């Protein structure tokens, strides 16, 4: 059970908002130490995992495409599209995106969206346009907050929905680990038990998005009187 202390290191590190890379490395070294692995063996395991998942580098192939689309005005067009829709707010827009992201991830279509493909060029500009339509031009701080929440929505949706797809590498890794420990488990059972976690994540993060949306509106209203007084002066 001491091997599981690495999970505790991750929880504490993230709670203290430490550097994620350092937290993960510290957690790996902690678990490796109690598993009887040397630091070099832990580093070798990191290298093997990276080498086995080289498809991560395919994200770089998306960058030229995204850059071309942005130069052609995809961000501005996304903002114009959402500006024509009435009643659309930042919170409900991101809730809708989260539902879409969870549904597609659950069937294995994780690469259909992401930070580079959809958040930066489409979702974030649409959310900013929704905020501007309702509350007026947002400040730079508000824009960054909206972009951060859009990126966080994608992260939460994927993280808590990917295990629903039974053929995901992480599910098969867990099944293999349990089998090596003498615990035989059907992959479909892990997938089924991932559904309640995904639904709970949707409920919790959707609540956060609605609260965030109301806070944006409240902050915009509270800033109006001071702006008006400044203009009169």
More confident residue, 116 or 157: 157
Alpha-carbon torsion angle 99, 100, 106, 112, nearest 10:
-150
For residue 130, tell me if it sits in a domain: yes
Query: Tokens 């629903």 sit at which residue?
Result: 164
Same domain, 128 and 107: yes
Same domain, 97 and 199: yes
Q: Inform me whether the pLDDT recorded for 233 exceeds 70.
A: no
pLDDT attached to residue 57: 55
- Domain count across the chain: 2
For residue 229, tell me if it sits in a domain: no
More confident residue, 76 or 29: 29
pLDDT attached to residue 45: 76
Q: Is residue 17 very low, low, confident or very high in pLDDT (cuts 50, 70, 90)?
A: confident
For residue 103, tell me if it sits in a domain: yes
Cβ contact 46:28 at 8 Å:
yes
For residue 226, tell me if it sits in a domain: no
For the ranges 1-5, 70-74, 93-97, 178-182, the lowest mean pLDDT is seen at 70-74
Q: Which of 5, 74, 7 is nearest to 34 (CA)?
A: 5
For residue 172, tell me if it sits in a domain: yes
pLDDT attached to residue 155: 94
Same domain, 45 and 128: no
For residue 227, tell me if it sits in a domain: no
Q: Percent of the chain, pLDDT > 90? A: 24
Would the CA dihedral through 27, 149, 214, 144 be positive or negative?
positive
Same domain, 174 and 103: yes
Same domain, 9 and 78: no
Same domain, 68 and 39: no
More confident residue, 63 or 39: 39
DSSP assignment string, 140-209: HHHHHHHHHHHHHHHHHHHHTTGGGSTT-HHHHHHHHHHHHTT----HHHHHHHHHHHHHHHHHHHHHHH
Query: Tokens 């501007």 sit at which residue?
Result: 132
Same domain, 31 and 68: no
The pair of structure tokens assigned to 107 is 């069937």
Q: Inform me whether the pLDDT recorded for 192 exceeds 70.
A: yes
Same domain, 114 and 74: yes
Same domain, 28 and 108: no
Averaged pLDDT of the chain? 81
Same domain, 68 and 180: yes
Say which DSSP state 137 is in: S
| 154: containing domain | 60-220
Query: Tokens 């949707």 sit at which residue?
Result: 202
pLDDT attached to residue 95: 95
Mind listing the pLDDT tens digit for each residue in 66-102?
677 667 777 677 777 776 777 788 999 999 999 999 9
Would the CA dihedral through 129, 138, 205, 173 be positive or negative?
positive
Same domain, 156 and 122: yes
pLDDT attached to residue 228: 47
Mind listing the pLDDT tens digit for each residue in 119-171?
888 888 889 888 888 888 888 899 999 999 999 999 999 999 988 887 776 77
- pLDDT, average across residues 181-192: 80
Last-in-domain residue among 9, 33, 51: 51
More confident residue, 102 or 183: 102
For residue 233, tell me if it sits in a domain: no
For residue 230, tell me if it sits in a domain: no
Same domain, 188 and 88: yes
């Amino acid at each position: 059970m001491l091997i599981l202390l690495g999970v505790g290191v991750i929880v504490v590190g993230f709670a203290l908002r430490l550097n994620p890379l350092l937290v993960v490395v510290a957690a790996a070294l902690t678990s490796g130490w109690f598993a009887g692995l040397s630091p070099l063996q832990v580093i070798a395991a990191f290298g093997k995992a990276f080498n086995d998942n080289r498809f991560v580098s395919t994200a770089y192939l998306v960058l030229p495409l995204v850059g071309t689309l942005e130069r052609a005005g995809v961000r501005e067009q996304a903002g114009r599209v959402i500006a024509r829709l009435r009643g659309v707010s930042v919170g409900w827009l991101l809730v809708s995106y989260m539902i879409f992201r969870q549904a597609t991830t659950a069937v294995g279509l994780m690469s259909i969206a992401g930070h580079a493909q959809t958040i930066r060029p489409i979702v974030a500009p649409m959310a900013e346009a929704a905020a501007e339509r309702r509350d007026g031009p947002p400040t730079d701080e508000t824009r960054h907050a909206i972009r951060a929440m859009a990126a966080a929505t994608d992260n939460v949706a994927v993280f808590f929905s990917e295990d629903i797809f039974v053929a995901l590498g992480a599910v098969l890794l867990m099944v293999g680990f349990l089998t090596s420990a003498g615990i035989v488990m059907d992959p479909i059972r892990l997938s089924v038990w991932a559904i309640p976690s995904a639904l709970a994540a949707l409920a919790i993060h959707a609540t956060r998005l609605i609260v965030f949306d109301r806070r944006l509106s409240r902050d915009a209203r509270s800033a109006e009187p001071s702006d008006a007084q400044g203009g009169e002066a």
